[in-house]
Amino acid sequence: MAFATLGLAPKLLQAVTDAGFTQPTAVQVEAIPLALAGHDLLVSSQTGSGKTAAFMLPCLQRLMAAGPSRLPRVLVLTPTRELAQQVAKATADFAGKRGPHIAVLVGGAPYAVQLKQLRGPLDIVVATPGRLMDHLQRGKLDLSGIQTLVLDEADRMLDMGFIDDIEAIAARLPAARQTLLFSATLEGVVGKLASRMTRDARRIEIARTPEAAPKIEQKLLFADGHDHKLRLLDHLLSDIELKQAVVFTATKAGAEDLADRLEDQGHAVEALHGDMNQGARNRALRALREGRARILVATDVAARGLDVPGISHVVNFDLPMQAEDYVHRIGRTGRAGREGQAYTLAHHREQGKVRGIERYTGIAIPVTTLPGLEPKARAAKPAIGRKAGDTKKRFGKPGQGKSYGDSRTGNPGTRRSRPSW
Ligand code: AMP
């Protein structure tokens, strides 16, 4: 299948060629023609599946055809500022130099810049729900001209408690609009939101394909304690194959401590966590993107949206709080068809959490050891069904596993409660 068959205008076909895309991804094949035809869409697709182009190319085509307008016509809501910035950047890349005016309205960034953007001509607004509500309540933005609403990573927005903001924002949009909803799952609360927000929507379910679940080799290393974990990490970071790595910690303080330690050891390292202001976050990400930093030590704030092609390795220094975060963390490597390595360090007592992740992904993570750094204590009980090198062992249908929170409540549709593990 070629991009040329999807109904895109020559200018946008040129833009995808310039972006280096030779073939559309599965979600692009399905979503672009339907979105161009004006349908509402409910799309279940994973991070890294090419969903940004799937919704943005049709939006740009519509804007190009319609000519200038006084009010913004496309609104994209995302759960995090990082994802919003990434969507805006991809949009600007596709649209080229004389493309539409884009405002990025995200929390943690100064109001002044955003207010300036809102005073000028504006075609596309990419926003996180909280900050967008702030501007709406202050009367700084008129959404009555919106023709297309995109809800990107809707499941995550609901997890983050944005439901009321999303409803309030939708109430200010014209009823006769197009709505494109993207989410890892379309079940439960997301499904309910979807049915309230869309009309006669076409449903697109993209199974995990090699391009959606890129070639990421996953490994599990058991550790006897914190010091052992540090030695394992030192070893992993000394790998000459490692171009750039994201190391995930459970806490902000843990990220700071580890970044300081690695810096003392002479690594080019940046920290990224929720206590940093937007300027500091941007600087850290820029250093990573420009290759000045080799290692990013981050909390889960970076697990979504971060798209740096040089990230060859992800190390889960601490296990994630929720099984689904594991998928987002390791998805920071193996971007756009590249190969990636994901190492997870776990204490023996954390086997239950590891099993939760395996149930969620449907894949057993092969246990490995590093020479001279083998754990002294032995794992009490191997995780179910795991054999050495058994990377493909599936426990369920991919992409349909549940987080611990789901299985504990017994209701896959309810908002995920934080698991106690
Ligand atoms: P997304 O799921 O939109 O975050 O996209 C994930 C990554 O895939 C980004 O780096 C995109 O630039 C890249 N990408 C999107 N569509 C294609 C395509 N058709 N061919 C190759 N890479 C793509």
Could you tell me if the CB of 100 is within 6 A of ligand 1? no
* Eight-state DSSP code of residue 313: E
- Interval 259-305: pLDDT, tens: 999 999 999 999 999 888 888 988 999 999 999 999 999 998 766 67
Nearest ligand 1 atom, CA 49: 2
Task: Choose one of 5, 21, 308 to mutate for the ligand 1 pocket test, by most ligand atoms within 8 angstroms of C-beta.
Answer: 21
Cα of 24 to ligand 1 centre, how many Å? 9
Whole-number Å distance between alpha carbons of 122 and 141: 10
Nearest ligand 1 atom, CA 24: 19
Beta bridge partner(s), residue 271:
297
Cα 273 to the chain's mean position, in Å? 15
CB 141 within 8 A of CB 125: yes
Among 3.40.50.150, 3.30.420.40, 3.40.50.300, 3.40.640.10, name the CATH number for the domain at 3-205: 3.40.50.300
Instruction: Write the residue with the smallest CA distance to atom 4 of ligand 1.
Output: 48
- Interval 310-334: pLDDT, tens: 999 999 999 998 888 898 899 898 8
In the chain, residues under CATH classification 3.40.50.300 are 3-205, 214-392
Could you tell me if the CB of 165 is within 6 A of ligand 1? no
Could you tell me if the CB of 48 is within 6 A of ligand 1? yes
Contacts of 20 (CB under 8 A, 6+ apart): none
Task: For domain 214-392, give the CATH superfamily.
Answer: P-loop containing nucleotide triphosphate hydrolases (3.40.50.300)
pTM of the model: 0.60
- Interval 190-218: pLDDT, tens: 999 999 999 999 999 886 544 444 588 99
Cα of 47 to ligand 1 centre, how many Å? 10
Could you tell me if the CB of 335 is within 6 A of ligand 1? yes
Nearest ligand 1 atom, CA 86: 4
Nearest ligand 1 atom, CA 54: 3
Tokens representing residue 222 in the block: 């058991």
Could you tell me if the CB of 312 is within 6 A of ligand 1? no
- Interval 180-192: pLDDT, tens: 999 988 888 899 9
**What H or E segment, with its residue span, contains residue 351?**
helix 351-361
pLDDT number for residue 360:
79
Residue identified by tokens 């869409």 is 41
CB 154 within 8 A of CB 183: yes
Nearest ligand 1 atom, CA 22: 20
Residues of the chain with pLDDT under 50: 209-213, 380-421
Q: How many CB atoms lie within 10 A of CB 261?
A: 15
Cα of 138 to ligand 1 centre, how many Å? 36
Question: How many Å from the N-terminal Cα to the C-terminal Cα in the chain?
Answer: 44
